Amino acid sequence: MLPISKLEQIERRFRELEQLLCSPEIVCDPAQLRKLNKERVDLEPVVLAFKRLQNVQSEITDNNEALEDPELRELAEMELPALKDELTKIERQIELLLLPKDPNDARNTIIEVRSGTGGEEAALFAADLFRMFSRYAEGKGWKVEVLSLSEASAGGYKEVIALVTGKEVYSHLRYEAGVHRVQRVPATEAQGRIHTSTATCAILPEADDVDITIADADLDISIAASGGPGGQSVNTTNSAVQLRHIPTGLIVKCQDERSQHKNKARAMKVLRSRLLELEQKKQDAALTAERRTMVGSGERSEKIRTYNFPQNRVTDHRINLTVHKLDQVLMGDLEEIVSALRTHRQAELLRQEGTG
């Protein structure tokens, strides 16, 4: 049963917000205006769905009454099945809209891809993964900005860190955190044997300055020359910036050929997001049961997905989903997999709400 009283309360708050947003006091206060407008935008889908629910319920009532009228009975019998189907869909939609929202879902995201086991082949696979994520982001209309890049001597990436900005980025990319495994014949394999390599992916919601405050005394900042593949110098100026967060021991390094100031800003962005992740892990420590049942817990030791080239197969081990279009997936066609993972998570949340 839908919580009608809660829906009515949301509708009243929505109308109240519409009035407040037109008041001179709020219009003259940019911070309050943004805050209330965001609340209104968040509530609007629920209010529209509730209104449609009421309209469909009214139409069903009218058609049920029309069954008693010989002249209208046939028309009513034709319309009722479709109306009942639509009512079920709207009720499902409202249930999902009322689920507790992760405050991180709307955030921009820092993605960190690193080569794992497998040597140079792992570095090549890390580069493949990053291209896959970049193309997926491009298809979503998101912007990808590389913050730090360490190339392997024979090609590929030892590590790449990038900021992805756009609408609801974290809510889609959160499921990519973990160990990705590839099974294929490397270009250097003369015997044609299939090798298994891995790359890891960390997905961090971007932290705002107000989320994480870093005291100057807690930072150890060092400057060095930027390096290219294999440690080769690519710059005659000292532009690479390394930050060490003394309380946690976290180290972040960013390098750019042009600007030391820009590198420091990028490194701080990554450091804040990593510290936010640490803080959230502390807060989530008591929710181990939820972590066991929900997809995408973000544990980096998990093997989440296998990419099998000989069979053109991608298997997500968390939900036992297999698709035979690896070539398309690596070109950024992740929507089928991400949608399945999001649906699974929603189902688990609904189950927990029902037993809570």
Residue 245 DSSP SS3: strand
List strands edge to edge, sheet with 303-308.
143-151, 157-165, 109-115, 195-205, 178-184, 303-308, 313-316, 321-323
Once rounded to an integer, what is the mean pLDDT over residues 62-70?
Answer: 93
Rounded average pLDDT over 194-223:
83
Instruction: Report the Cα–Cα distance between both ends of the chain, in Å, rounded.
Output: 15
Mean pLDDT of 328-351: 91
Same fold: 4-97 with 108-356 = no
Give the mean pLDDT of 25-52: 91
Instruction: Tell me which of 296 and 164 has the higher pLDDT.
Output: 164
Residue 102 confidence (pLDDT): 79
Q: What pLDDT sits at residue 240?
A: 84
DSSP class per residue in 320-349: TEEES-HHHHHTT--HHHHHHHHHHHHHHH
Of 199, 198, 196, 194, residue with least CA distance to 310 = 194
Q: How confident is the model at residue 74 (pLDDT cuts 50, 70, 90)?
A: very high
Q: Which pLDDT score is estimated for 229? A: 47
Pick the CATH number of 4-97 from 1.20.1260, 1.20.58, 1.10.540, 1.25.40: 1.20.58
Domain boundaries, the chain: 4-97, 108-356
Average pLDDT of the chain, as a whole number:
85
Tokens at residue 225, please? Answer: 């020359």
Residues 6+ positions from 100 with CB-CB distance below 8 Å: 349
Report whether pLDDT(297) > 70. no
pLDDT (mean) for 313-326: 96
CA 198-201-203 angle, 5° bins? 170
Closest CA to 158 of 241, 229, 264, 253: 229
Q: Report how far residue 150's alpha carbon sits from residue 147's, in angstroms, rounded to the nearest whole number.
A: 11
Least confident of 63-67, 293-297, 319-323: 293-297
User: Minimum mean pLDDT among 129-143, 163-177, 256-270: which range?
Assistant: 256-270
**Nearest alpha carbon to residue 4 among 69, 98, 82:** 98
Residues in the chain: 356
Residue 204 CA to residue 138 CA, distance in Å, equals 19
CB atoms < 10 A from the CB of 288, how many? 9
* List of residues 6+ apart from 338 with CB closer than 8 A: 172, 175
Give the largest Cα separation in the chain, rounded. 91
The type of residue at 241 is V
pLDDT, mean of residues 228-233: 47
Q: Does residue 232 register a pLDDT over 60?
A: no
d(CA 47, CA 40): 10
CATH topology for the 108-356 domain = Alpha-Beta Plaits (3.30.70)
Q: What is the C-alpha to C-alpha distance for residues 130 and 202, in angstroms, rounded to an integer?
A: 12
pLDDT of residue 256: 67
Q: At 164, list the tokens.
A: 């992805």
- Residue pair 252/230 in contact (Cβ under 8 Å)? The answer is no
pLDDT of residue 315: 97
221: left (phi over 0), alpha (psi -120 to 50) or beta: beta
pLDDT of residue 296 exceeding 50: no
The pTM of this model reads 0.69
What sign does the CA torsion over 62, 64, 68, 72 have?
positive
Model pLDDT, residue 230: 46
Min mean pLDDT across 63-72, 98-107, 148-157 is at 98-107
Residue 111: beta bridge partners? 162, 203
Higher pLDDT, 52 or 266: 52
Side-chain-facing half-sphere of 178: CA atoms under 13 Å = 19
Residue 103's pLDDT is 78
Residue 293 to residue 277: CA distance in whole angstroms: 20
- Given a contact cutoff of 8 angstroms between Cβ atoms, the answer to whether 198 and 122 are in contact is yes
Q: How far apart are CA 57 and CA 49, in angstroms?
A: 12
Is the pLDDT at 274 greater than 70? The verdict is: yes
Residue 299's pLDDT is: 39
Tens of pLDDT along 110-121?
A: 999 999 998 899
Give residue 79's pLDDT.
94
